Amino acid sequence: MMKIKIGLYGTNGHQIHKMLENHPYAQLVATAAFDLSLLPPALRDSTLIKHYITLDEMLGDKEVELVSLCSPRRRDQASEAIRCLEAGKHVYAEKPCAMTEEDLDAIIDAAHRTGMEFHEMAGTAFEQPYYTMRSIVQDGTIGTVVQVFAQKSYPYHDGRPQDEDIDGGLICQNAVHAFRFIEHVACRKIKNIYAIETGLGNPRNGGLKMAVSFMAALDNGGVASIIANYLNPKGFGLWGNEHLRIFGTKGFIEATDGGTKTRLIIGDKDFGRIDATKPVKNYFDMYIDSLLGRDSMPLTLDNELHPTRMVIRAKKGAISNK
């Protein structure tokens, strides 16, 4: 059975090492700048996996076909992704894959120029209940999407970098999930975006922003509002406190309280909870299947990366209230 040979670079983000133990179509063959204690025991003890200090050393390994990037500094990740592509490796990159539009365009250009595949870890819309909500929107059940509200809230902890160049910061690494809710679940592209952010509530003396509010114009004439923050208290019980409400001309659909509660109302009928029990494939598996010719990706690269493009624009134009 053919397997895609994977190299892991860095641990700053949602690295895929746990998925690679006994994966049917992907095999870990190398790591670089990686804490080996994080590997599952079977992988940590394997003599078939090579361990490098630098990314460039690993790129010289001809066995590696795809590099999963969780770069130590997110600001450097775009140039590292391009080096991978130019070395003949496919890339799967933590978000944000780039922190400027110029870098984002350079990644897309490098993928097209080299013929290698690039994808961001952009599977937000392909987890339940959002996958089912996406299908309901796409089949026209709620009519034309007019207004969307999206929320993404994480807890604060002292491990959060005060320097946004490390992980991308509040807008680019947190709020991008809410932007994906709008573009990949409500299926409307953001045309214009306006942001105001604040560091109020940051318990340390640093550059970490704690909350941000956005207003957005959608490509069909609709509107959206988004909030994101690091204010989710432990008492909520879930790491992420997500809300998504999509209002259409026939009704609305929502997921609240971290996706644990859903509701669909069409006209005068309340359908209650939606059935979001259908098993879904994670985004990495979709990527692997596409490389093996078993299936195609659900989004074009431009559509996949458009939320990242818009958070970059939002950050560039953001007004700071503190």
Under a CB-based contact definition with an 8 Å cutoff, are residues 9 and 80 in contact? yes
pLDDT band for position 112 (50/70/90)? very high
Q: What is the pLDDT of residues 278-322, one digit of tens each?
A: 999 999 999 999 999 999 999 999 999 999 999 999 999 998 886
Angle subtended at Cα 211 by Cα 164 and Cα 177, rounded to the nearest 5 degrees: 75
Distance CA 88, CA 174 (A): 30
Name which of 207, 210, 243, 202 is nearest 225 in CA terms.
243
Q: What percentage of the chain reaches a pLDDT higher than 70?
A: 100
Q: Which residue has the tokens 């397997």?
A: 3
Domain of 86, in residue numbers:
4-121
> Which tokens in the block code for residue 58?
């690993």
HSE, CB side, 13 Å, CA atoms: give it for residue 110: 22
* Residue 84 and residue 8 in one domain: yes
Name which of 232, 218, 202 is nearest 320 in CA terms.
202
Residue 286 lies in a domain: no
* Residue 133 and residue 244 in one domain: yes
Q: What is the pLDDT of residue 142?
A: 98
Q: What is the pLDDT of residues 145-158, one digit of tens each?
A: 999 999 999 999 99
Buried b / exposed e across 274-302, counting CB within 10 Å, b at 16+?
bebeeebeebbbbbbbbbeeeeebbbebe
| Single residue among 121, 152, 172 that ends a domain in this structure | 121
Q: What percentage of the chain reaches a pLDDT higher than 90?
A: 98
* Residue 74 and residue 141 in one domain: no
Q: What is the pLDDT of the chain when averaged over all its residues? A: 97
Contacts 24+ apart (CB under 8 A), 18-26: 19/282, 19/284, 23/288, 25/1, 25/285, 25/288, 25/289, 25/292, 25/294, 26/66, 26/284, 26/288
Q: What is the pLDDT of residues 28-53, one digit of tens each?
A: 999 999 999 999 999 999 999 999 99
Quote the number of domains for the chain.
Answer: 2
The model's pTM: 0.97
Any idea what the CATH number is for the domain that residue 216 is in?
Answer: 3.30.360.10
Q: What is the pLDDT of residue 320?
A: 86
> Which tokens in the block code for residue 94?
């933590």
* Residue 111 and residue 187 in one domain: no
* Residue 246 and residue 212 in one domain: yes
* Residue 114 and residue 170 in one domain: no
Residue 9 lies in a domain: yes
Q: What is the pLDDT of residues 214-223, one digit of tens each?
A: 999 999 999 9
Helix (H) or strand (E) holding 269: strand 269-272
Number of Cβ within a 10 Å radius of residue 222:
20
Q: What is the pLDDT of residues 212-260, one digit of tens each?
A: 999 999 999 999 999 999 999 999 999 999 999 999 999 999 999 999 9
Q: What is the pLDDT of residues 59-88, one digit of tens each?
A: 999 999 999 999 999 999 999 999 999 999
What is the SS3 assignment for 217? strand
Distance CA 25, CA 259 (A): 30
Q: What is the pLDDT of residues 162-181, one digit of tens each?
A: 999 999 999 999 999 999 99
* Residue 186 and residue 131 in one domain: yes
Residue 285 lies in a domain: no
